[in-house]
Structures are given as C-alpha cells and as structure tokens.
Amino acid sequence: MAKIFTTKNGFTMVNGATACCVENVLEEESFRHVLYRERKRVERSGESMLLLLLDLSRIEEGVDRNEVLALLSGPLPVSIRDTDACGWLQTGELLGIVFTEIHHDALEQARLTVEHKVRESLLEKLSPPLYKRIGLSILAFPEKPGEKENVEQRISFNPFFYPEVFQKDMSSRIEEGAKRAMDLVGSSLALVLFSPLLVIMAVLVKTTSHGPVLYRQTRLGQFGKPFTFLKFRSMHINRDDSIHREFIKGFISNCMVREPDPETGEVVFKIRHDPRLTPIGSFLRRSSVDELPQFFNVLRGEMSLVGPRPPIPYEVAEYDIWHLNRILARKPGITGLWQISKRSLATFDAMVRLDLQYIRTWSLWLDIKILLATPRAVLRGKGAY
C-alpha cells in the first residue's frame, strides 16, 4: 500500500514521489499559531470566528486519498478570503479552515452557509462512498457570543482554539512535573511548620462563633473543574451571599462604588466592614491566616502554591471572554503576582492582566521569587481586608 505524507513545502508524497500539491495549506505548527492569533483577536474585538474541520482519517491511503487531496490541490470547497487560513491540525488526516471576523449576530447563518457550500462541493466532486467517509464539522468561537448565564457552557474549552494550552511538548511536561514536585514538597513542609498555628486558629474559630472550623466552598480550578476550596471560617454561618455577589458584579464590570483606604487614601476593591464577619474574621483575613488550609488543596492536586486565585462559579458568569484565560493554562494558586503586588488595590482587569502575565512568563524561578516575596506582602497587609 502506498505511503502518503505531507512535506514541509506542502507537497503530498507517495512513496517519495510527488502526487499532488496542496496549495496554501499550512503545516500543523503554523496553523496552530494562526488559531491562537485569531482567538486572541476575537477576545479583543468581540467578533466571532468559525473553524471548519475535514476529517480524512477514514479514507484509506492510496487512490482514494489521492482523489481527495487532488480536490484540495485546486480551489478549496469554499471561497477563502485573505483574512482566512487553511492548514493541517493533524497532517494528512484533519484539515482546518478558519473563517474570521464574523459578527456574532450573523454567526449561525454563517455556519449554515459554510456547511451547505462545502457539502455541495464535496458531493459534486467526489463519489458518494468516498464522500461518506469524510467527516465534516464546524466549530464556533465563542460558541454562544454574549451569553454569560450558563457557566458550564462558558468553561467548556475546545482544545482546537487553545493550542498553546493543550499541545504540550516534552519539555513543558517536564517543567510541569517539576512544578508539581515543588507543590508537594512545599505544601507538606508548610503544614508541618504551621501545624501549631493551625491548631490555635481552629480552637479560636470554634470558640468565638457557632459553626464548623473550616469553610468549604465550590471553586473552579484549571479548565473550570469544580473542587472544594478550604479556608478557616471567617464569617457567621448561613449568611446571605448577596452582598458578595453584588460586589463581584460591580468589581468585574468596573461599576462599583470605590471606597478609599482611610490610611493611604488609595482606592480599595474589597468589601470593608463586612457585617458577616465573626469576632476574629477580620484578623483572619488581614493576616491571611484563613488561607492556610489551602495547603491541603495543593496536596490533593486541586491547587498549586503559585497561580491565579480560583474563582467562584457566579464570578465566572460575569467574565468577559478574555478573562477566562486565567482559569485555563495554570492551576489556581495560594499566592501569585496579584497577591504580592496590588491585592485589593487593583481593578479586576488589572488583576487578570497580572494573572495572564504570570501565565505567559511562567518558570520555576518565577514561582520561587513569588513565594519568597509572599511573606513580606502578608506582613505588610496592604490591600488585605
């Protein structure tokens, strides 16, 4: 049976001989870069894009495969604008075409039009048995533009649109393994070191207010996976969370009333004088002692020592699409760039940009520097409420 593969210059080879030329089809690495770039553009512009996928994996190598590739060597099944691109997601098996700059109101109509034209072209040029072996699907980004209510749908990240996250090379896997090892060693040492303080705080929480010692809350980890987040309880039990929901909504939309810090005069983005706090709740929060149980979350693999803070589901419901990147590429952390710099003195967008800066520039050395800077930030207590 003939062996078919695609060379770097875009030629399809059969046992070393050129069979046909697939023109203007990008290699995997180049096409993934295009997908990354166009996704970032969509996140900024508020427009949408479509990704057409042609699955050729069920077509046997040989004459049938040559017939399909010959079709692709001529004009593609749909009209490609200068802003669109065609490339391999899996060389020789999965072909993608990106359609960019689609207004979200016209997204569904564009999806139907593209699918109709492609199917019509394939039926016209291929035999029915061969046509049936080609898989065709169309993905949209974002899937439901403008809709924020369905959190589960918002965090269903399609790996095709996030190649920088889901396509990891060996060196990246080794680095992530080293980060996990540092998390295990660091959190274990911290729990041993702070064990007397953990006991003291547990006694104080239990004796100063009614309710459990630990506060358990559903948060979203990497890829939006829910987990049980642990803290020392700093609030009275069975309190309405509407205060926090309204605060989060105003904080993310930048429409909240900004209260200046009485000592520094700086604007504080935090609920001050929270009526839900227990007698020692304010101390727990200002000192960050309430965060110590999260070392157990790190041991369980739900969090890391360093990373973006894990959001509450109703917080994610208010996110703009570019905000979602902060819960994708890295596990949430106990500390991070935001905690050692701005904390509650930063706007939400500024906080997210710090998280994205951390994700872009991540290294083990950066984690170590943040960990070393965290005790000083905690002792200063700037922006903590």
Instruction: Give the model's pLDDT for residue 153.
Output: 67
10-14, 76-80, 333-337: least confidently modelled range: 10-14
What pLDDT shows up at residue 81?
63
Higher pLDDT, residue 24 or 159: 159
- The DSSP code sequence of 254-306 is T-SPPEEPTTT--EE-S--S-TTB-TTHHHHHHHTGGGTTHHHHHHTTS-EEE
pTM value? 0.79
Q: What is the pLDDT of residue 117?
A: 87
Q: CA 213 to CA 69: how far, in whole Å?
A: 65
Q: How confident is the model at residue 292 (pLDDT cuts 50, 70, 90)?
A: very high
Indicate the average pLDDT of the chain: 82
Q: Parse the chain into domains and list their residue ranges.
A: 4-165, 170-380
pLDDT at 341: 80
In tens, the pLDDT along 183-224 reads: 999 999 999 999 999 999 999 999 998 999 999 999 999 999
pLDDT value of position 368: 95
Residue 22 has what DSSP assignment?
-
Q: What pLDDT score does 355 carry? A: 93
Name the percent of the chain lying above pLDDT 70. Answer: 80
CATH T-level fold of 4-165: Alpha-Beta Plaits (3.30.70)
Strand 304-306 versus strand 333-335 pairing type: parallel
Q: According to the model, what pLDDT value does residue 9 have? A: 35
Q: How far apart are CA 68 and CA 157, in angstroms?
A: 31
More confident residue, 64 or 368: 368
Which pLDDT belongs to residue 150? Answer: 65
| pLDDT score of 173 more than 70 | yes
* Confidence grade of residue 2 (pLDDT, cut at 50, 70, 90): very low
Task: Determine the 3-state secondary structure of 20 from DSSP.
Answer: strand
